A and B are shown apart, each in its own frame.
Chain A
Amino acid sequence: MSFLSKLLFKNKTQDIVSGNSDSILIKGDELRQSVDRIFGRSLFVRLVDTGSCNACENELSALSNPYYDLERFGIKFVASPKHADVIIVTGCLARNMLNPLLKTFENVPEPKFVITAGDCPETGGPFKDSYAVCGPVSKYLKVAMHIKGCPPEPEAIISGFLNFMDIVKISF
């Protein structure tokens, strides 16, 4: 068991924040406060990949690693659209994914918001000229917020959530 206990006494997140990424903590604090106020302490997010290169999902997954630990700010990725407040869309919107995207969106209870992550859902990205792509996502759904980047880095996604809070604040 020594391997596990060794890990237990190493607090990664602390180490990291005091290291080179102070900015995460500052953004995170603001984010925490907004989520508390606007979404009653928890913002539930459901991902729909509509045809990405998978780099964007990798960065979204990275948000849960000990360096970023997104959940400490009140944001959680959930398994079902029925639990979600927000759907975050990645990918260029391949034709074959249009119906699954719309169905997922239908199943999110009101009030609901769409955020896109990466250049793909906003413009089609490198795939925009293809016969197999029917994006951008904004053709079909009202998008509250585009997070730019190819792919957006985890910090950019955290900033994106923060900007999203600002937008929502106005409408609440």
Chain B
Amino acid sequence: MNKMKINANIIDSNDFARLATHVKESGRYLLGIAASDERLKGSGFKIRYFFGGKNLIDEYSVSLPAGDGSFQSISKICPAAKMYEREINDLFGLTPLGHPDLRPLMLYPENWDFSVHPLRKDYNNVIPEFRKYGDYKYKEVSGEGIFEVLVGPVHAGIIEPGHFRFSLAGEPVLQLEIRHFWKHKGIEKICEGKNFNEALNLVSKVSGDNNVNIAASYLEAVENLLNIEIPERAKHIRVILAELERIWNYVRDIAWIFMDIGFALPAQNLFALQEELMRLNKSLTGSRFMFNALIPSGVSVDFDSSKLFTIDNIIKKVEKAIKESEAFILNSSTVLDRLEFTGKINKKTAEELSLCGISARASGLFRDSRVEFPYLIYDKFNLKPALLESGDVFARTILRIKEILFSAKIVTELLFNLPEGKIITSYENTAEPYKYAVGNAETPRGNAFFYIMADGDGKIFRLKYIDPSFRIWPSIQYGVLGDIIADFPLINKSLNLSYSGNDM
């Protein structure tokens, strides 16, 4: 059941812009902003600001009367709001007044008519003709000896597309400008009108490698909305699967870090381990990514004792391999040379950009949804995720190692204390019209936040998902400053953000 307390406030846009400073100063941070078109209901457009604090979410909801196409930007007070406001400008055509940068975000002027805003309820589903409507202006850096290196959207490796523009003076990076949303798939829109089961399939494909944790967050919201209390056994299995996902993700991430500093041997050792973990996933759930293992009101897979035994065995193997990797890192000056002081994101930046997950915890900022907004059975553990201060690639690598060991402990503990009983329960599929709920979960990249509003027929009226990558991407632009361009791939891998989850 929903343990999360939401403290809801209704407020005028101008008043909120004034209040935002106070909210921020009180130590709360921006979890996300969700707009929705509620004109049919007679309440105009709504913009809901969610702020996190310990065990509490503060919601400020601002109504824009129909006909009013603008609201006060809070980006200057709260830089983390910048991207959300640009997004609302694109998808709803509502202008954040006073916003420093209103270039289109996901609707590219190279192919989209900017007078069409697809998330408005009166959007007629006519897709604008594919032609050039305007230009996208990149920032300019000028001065003697300054040159630019443009990378992407199609990259050299097997990775997702994104465009990076480096302005350099000699080797050090003076400025990095990132343009994303090449992969914008319009997932939020296609979720509208779907029932909760159908939408689950879509949200699992927001960012495939994090699908279990993202589904956990989505289901948290859905189950809050429909007042479903899932069986204890299902809760335990969800946590086991979520932690297994964290483990395989981090094993892969550390492997890539080794790869990028030229240590192929330990890298391949971990890639092999990743493969074993993905095969374990398949043997447990039928899918190497554990797709569809979590379902509304429970889970679709149950464990018998032989499965528990298999998990236990592989976890022991992971623990051993990871401790060896850690020793290797700490004892090798060449490794430390590359990792330490590289890609530093300082605490102030992390705070201003409202980072989450490993990226926040490596910069001394305590953000972990498992502790802040306990869901499932996370409040049963006395979780104390590690915190490092240095904000560099080293900190992010070591934190991943600690997290793997930590997740391994959680899994082992649960394996031997799995309550008997059902793994699914029956439920009523409808909620009152316009009722909404939120969900949180800690994915391997950070906080996954869902805001879901129901219509009266058991379908989704509005779904907003905020991927941790959406929050963290802008920070790389600060992390690379002063580093040499050759370190960029390493810095990027140390954050390992999702393009798909960001672009949605």
List of A residues within 8 angstroms of B111 by Cβ: 95-96, 98-99
> In whole angstroms, how far apart are the Cα atoms of A61 and B186 in the complex?
26
How close is A171's CB to chain B, nearest CB, in angstroms? Answer: 27
Q: How large is the interface on A (under 10, 10 to 19, 20 to 34, 35 or more residues)?
A: 35 or more
List of A residues within 8 angstroms of B402 by Cβ: none
How close is A163's CB to chain B, nearest CB, in angstroms? Answer: 21
List of B residues within 8 angstroms of A79 by Cβ: 156-157
Question: Contacting chain A: which of B13-21, B199-207, B470-478?
Answer: B199-207
> In whole angstroms, how far apart are the Cα atoms of A80 and B151 in the complex?
12
8 A Cβ contacts from B185-218 to A? 185-187, 189-190, 201-202, 204-209, 211
Q: Are A94 and B160 in contact (CB under 8 A)?
A: no
List of B residues within 8 angstroms of A104 by Cβ: 154
Tell whether A130 is near chain B: CB-to-CB under 8 Å: yes
How close is A60's CB to chain B, nearest CB, in angstroms? Answer: 5
> In whole angstroms, how far apart are the Cα atoms of A126 and B194 in the complex?
12
How close is B472's CB to chain A, nearest CB, in angstroms? Answer: 16
> In whole angstroms, how far apart are the Cα atoms of A54 and B206 in the complex?
9
Q: Are B272 and A94 in contact (CB under 8 A)?
A: no
Q: Are A132 and B500 in contact (CB under 8 A)?
A: no
Tell whether A49 is near chain B: CB-to-CB under 8 Å: yes
List of A residues within 8 angstroms of B189 by Cβ: 130-132
Q: Are A95 and B108 in contact (CB under 8 A)?
A: yes
Q: Are B161 and A49 in contact (CB under 8 A)?
A: yes
- Chain A positions within 8 Å of B, measured between CB atoms, are 3-4, 7-8, 12, 16, 47-62, 64-67, 77, 79-81, 91-92, 94-100, 104, 125-127, 129-134, 150-151, 153
- Chain B positions within 8 Å of A, measured between CB atoms, are 106, 108, 110-112, 118, 125, 127, 130, 153-154, 156-161, 181-187, 189-190, 201-202, 204-209, 211, 252, 265-266, 268-269, 271-272, 274-275, 278, 288-289, 291, 324, 327-328, 498-501, 503
Closest 10 CB pairs of A and B: A55-B208, A79-B156, A132-B186, A130-B186, A53-B208, A65-B271, A53-B205, A51-B183, A127-B185, A54-B500
User: Chain A: which residue is nearest B265 at the CB level?
Assistant: A7
Q: Are B184 and A96 in contact (CB under 8 A)?
A: yes
How close is B213's CB to chain A, nearest CB, in angstroms? Answer: 14
Q: Are B112 and A127 in contact (CB under 8 A)?
A: no
> Taking A61-B158, A130-B190 as contacts, is the C-beta distance between A125 and B153 under 8 angstroms?
no
How close is A117's CB to chain B, nearest CB, in angstroms? Answer: 11
Q: Are A94 and B184 in contact (CB under 8 A)?
A: yes
Select one of A57, A95, A126, A131 contacting B201, CB under 8 A.
Answer: A126
How close is B444's CB to chain A, nearest CB, in angstroms? Answer: 12
Q: Are A100 and B118 in contact (CB under 8 A)?
A: no
